[in-house]
Structure 1
Amino acid sequence: MGTVSPAYSPLSDEWLMHRFNHLSPDLAAELPDALARMRSMCPVAHSEEYGGFWVVTRYEDVVRVAQDWETFSSAHGLSVPSAPTHARHYPVQVDPPIQRVYKRLVNAFFTPAALAPWEQPIRELATRLIDGFADDGACDFMDAFARPFPAVSFFDQALHAPAEEVEKVALLASTSSIPNHPDAATSWAGLSAWVSEFVERRRAEPGRGDIVDGVLNAEIEGRPITREEVLGTVQLLILGGLETTAGSLGLMMLRFCARPEIPAMLRERPELIRAAVEELLRLDGSFIAIARTATRDTELGGKHIKRGDKVIIYWASANRDEAEFADPEAFRVDRSPNRHLAFGLGPHRCVGSNLARLSLRIALEEILGRLDDINVPERAAVRFHSTLTRAPRSLPITFTAR
């Protein structure tokens, strides 16, 4: 972006309204406060960065954009440039009606009934991971638990990928999702190559009745699914579930450290953990935004949006909008209704929301049952990455094993 004038210093009012940069580490660190200021000053703001795009922060406007796929398309220019070029991801980067075909293809594998057999293996995985660091009294939570937990679970239960490859591929998926990471482009290429090789291996193996078989054998509007569609669908399944769940776990752990009364309450009343997951997702969900492209001229929040304009809607801002949520900054386990948008909204709502809820509930049950006195060391600097998802890069914690 080059040198900016003092008027456009990071997170100044002028920066937020005219030079907003979703890749900025300054924004990543101060995201909730920055979005609150934008809701107040200019809920539909225009940034001059990346050729220009709109930033939408109010709940009502975010809902409208998410539901109106005919005006705000996912099929053309899904995101403002933030990552190396990759294959089209299905069903996220196509619009209805064809989008519904791809979504139905994967939906059947993520219903509560389909996921019920996963609960015990996921719980056993959580226990094994905690066993690995519980006696140490300290760990980097992101490395020791938050990132391996959803990765190992998904590769094992959903893809039936070889166990010896999980760590490598999870690292590729995580690194490729981190903006400005020096290895991002290489990781994208490595992940794409692995997905291609994995799919070809599975074609040659007997069927297992899992989601990979479902994708490989799918028909799209009466024709066999193409190789490009298979690769795009499998790659999205990997990217969509790993860093988002890891990020949410990291953000939740940070809140536990800052507000120890919350984990104390949940230890005393574990039956509240399910409701607590929903409130924590509202406050600390890591799927923070998504981008669309306007297909026609329209008006939003009093601003004229032109055909072809890019629009980023911030779930993380809508989830703290005072117009929708009373006392929005407070953690209220009994909040009702809680119409949060942590999994998005509309036809492109996250297909893996049931799996995420299951994984987060089990993770909190096992962590709170095993670890007390969780803290971030005083001098530890917690840094974040943030594009359309947000997560701590690392999170050192100390604790007492129960």
Structure 2
Amino acid sequence: MDTPAKGTIAQRDPDVKVEAGAPSAEELKAKFGRDIFRDFDYDDPKFNVNFVETLNTQLKHCPVARSNVGTGYWWVTRNEDVRRIGQDWKTFSNAQGYQPNRPEGLPYLYPEESDPPRHTAWRSALNPHLSPMAVAGYEKAIREDVNTLIDRFIDKGECEFISEFGAILPGWAFFKNILGVPVEDLALLVNGVEQGTFAPVSERAGHFAKVFEYLGAFLEKRSKQAPQDDMVSTILAGVTYEDGSPAVGTQVVGAGGYHVRRHCDDDLRDGLGDSPPSATPAGSRSAGRQPGDDAQRN
């Protein structure tokens, strides 16, 4: 493999491979408002409007697209490529975070934003709480949450699915049923995660800061209580890495963060049946890196 060029993607203008018969840059701009092969932006509102058509075009003609936003990143759409990236942590590290153009000061979310051996240590500790049998134990409570949310709009006969249901339920499933957060605090956390993920980039760190501040106080309060057989006590117990060093406080709070919400999102999506083609930014493993760029960081 050739040695990859250094510098940010936006600066080094790397080659984007486009298959024969693909629309020209001018045709893409006329149809999508931008060149979705060489200048993609997953935060562009037009992507939301033309979601499936955009992905189908990329899947067919340019399965690895490029973005020039910020430091730049790669956008990978084919399942086999996404799977390879997800399994090759030595090349596509998560240790510097998976979010493209990550806001400065945003704490890392453990175990997602780590590599082995740290990732292995946290996953081993948390997995018993996320086994099929353990998750099945939350079914009754989550069904009750579903009914509660539906009751809020049933008299209207309709709803805006994402804002009134889809964006709320995963947070309830995790924060309320798994962590045991009081119901009255759920709105703060659910909104903080939602805005920390989808608000304008400059505002995301501030929203996540509120979530981490709350979780830090929540874990501190629980640490003064008797241990329980639950995920919170496991998080508080922390882990010891292979070199004998313990997880530091920010890593413990990060492990109490929103990573399980992503799994809840997947479960909700799968439960709804067919979904659009899979699209995962290269940032889901390593924002804006080519193979070989800063390959392994622990």
Hey, what's the Cα distance between the residues in 2 that align with 1:41 and 1:65?
Answer: 20
Q: Structure 2: which amino acid aligns with 1:307?
A: G
CA contact (8 A) 1:72 1:295 kept: no
Give the corresponding residue for 1:49.
69
Secondary structure at 1:15 match in 2:
coil
Alpha-carbon distance in structure 2 between the residues aligned to 1:130 and 1:295: 40
Give the counterpart of 1:226 among 237, 248, 255: 248
How much has 1:110 moved relative to structure 2? 0.8
How do residues 266-281 of structure 1 correspond to structure 2 at under 5 angstroms?
277=271, 279-280=273-274
SS of alignment partner, residue 132 of structure 1: helix
Q: 1:82-115 CA distances to partner (integer Å, 9 max, x unpaired)?
A: 5454111111111123311111111110111112
User: Structure 1: which amino acid aligns with 2:183?
Assistant: A
Counterparts of 2:30 and 2:262 in 1: how far apart (Å)?
A: 29
Check the 8 A contact 2:121/2:239 in 1, yes or no: no
Aligned to 2:177, which of 157, 162, 170?
157
* Distance change >3 Å, CA 149–CA 207, structure 1 → 2: same
Q: Specify which of 225, 228, 236 is matched with residue 205 of structure 1.
A: 225
Q: Is the 8 A contact 2:65 2:76 kept in 1?
A: yes
**Are the counterparts in 2 of residues 76 and 293 from structure 1 also a CA contact under 8 Å?**
yes
SS at match of 2:276: helix
Matched to 1:195, the amino acid is L
Q: Is 1:307 aligned with 2:292? A: yes
Structure 1, unpaired ranges of 5+:
253-275, 297-304, 311-402
Q: Distance in 2 between matches of 1:147 and 1:207?
A: 31
The within-5 A match list for 1:92-171 is 92-171=112-191
CA distance in 2, matches of 1:93, 1:65: 14
Could you list the runs of 5+ residues in structure 2 that have no partner in the other structure?
Answer: 1-9, 11-24
Q: Residue 98 of structure 2 contacts residue 113 of structure 2 at CA under 8 Å; is this kept in 1?
A: yes
Q: Normalized per residue, which structure has more strand? A: 1
Q: Distance in 2 between matches of 1:104 and 1:162?
A: 27
Structure of higher RCO (CA pairs closer than 8 Å, 6+ residues apart): 2
Counterpart check, 1:36 vs 2:56: yes
Q: State the Cα RMSD in Å.
A: 3.3
Once the two structures are superposed, residues 183-226 of structure 1 have per-residue CA deviations (whole angstroms, 9 ceiling, x without a partner) of 53432221121111111111112222210100111332355432
Structure 1 segments (4+ residues) deviating >6 Å: none
The alignment's TM-score, normalised by the length of structure 1, stands at: 0.58
SS of the residue aligned with 2:43?
A: coil
Shift of 1:126: 1.8
Q: 1:82 to 1:201 in 2, by over 3 A?
A: same
**Identity among equivalent pairs (%):** 26
Q: What secondary structure, in the 3-state scheme, does the structure 2 residue paired with 1:50 have?
A: coil
* 2:18 counterpart residue number: none
Structure 1 residues 76-95: aligned runs within 5 Å: 76-81=96-101, 83=103, 85-95=105-115
- The aligned counterpart of 1:283 is 276
